[in-house]
Amino acid sequence: MPSPVAHAAAGVATYLAVVDRAPLPWTTRATFLGACVFLAVFPDLDFLPGLIVGVPNQFHQGPSHSLLVVALVWLAVLALLSVRRRTWLRGLSRQTVLLGTAVAAFSHPFLDYFSIGNGIPLFWPVDSSTYASPWPLFLNVTRDNVPGTAFFLSLFSLHNLLALSRELLFSVALLTLVAGLRQYQQPAWAWVLSGLVLIMVLVLVEPGWTTAAF
* Number of neighbours of residue 68 by Cβ within 10 angstroms: 14
Site for Zn ion in 107-166 (CB under 5 A): 112
* Nearest to Zn ion of 19, 112 (CB atom): 112
Q: Return the residues of window 194-213 that contact Zn ion according to CB under 5 A.
A: none
Q: Build a one-symbol-per-residue string for 3-42: x at contacts with Zn ion by CB under 5 A, - elsewhere.
A: ----------------------------------------
For residue 169, CA distances in Å to 137, 174, 187, 211 come to 12, 8, 25, 18
Closest distance to Zn ion from the beta carbon of 58 (Å) = 15
Residue 131 backbone phi and psi in degrees, to 5: -125, 135
Hey, what amino acid is at 2? P
In the complex with Zn ion, the residue whose CB is nearer, 19 or 122, is 122
Q: Which is nearer to Zn ion, 43 or 136 (CB)?
A: 43
Least separation, in Å, of the C-beta of 78 and Zn ion?
A: 21
Q: Is 44 in the site for Zn ion (CB under 5 A)?
A: yes
* Angle (CA) 120 71 63, round 5°: 35
CA distance 17 to 9: 12
State in angstroms the smallest separation of the CB of 40 from Zn ion. 10
Task: Establish if 167 lies at the interface with Zn ion (CB under 5 A).
Answer: no
Does residue 131 contact residue 117 with C-beta atoms inside 8 Å? Answer: no
The Cα 151–Cα 73 span in angstroms is: 28
DSSP code, position 140: P
CB of 8 to Zn ion, least distance (A): 12
Give yes or no for residue 1 binding Zn ion (CB under 5 A). Answer: yes
Cα(181)–Cα(202) distance, rounded to whole angstroms? 20
Question: Count of residues binding Zn ion (CB under 5 A)?
Answer: 4
Which residues form the interface with Zn ion (CB under 5 A)? 1, 43-44, 112
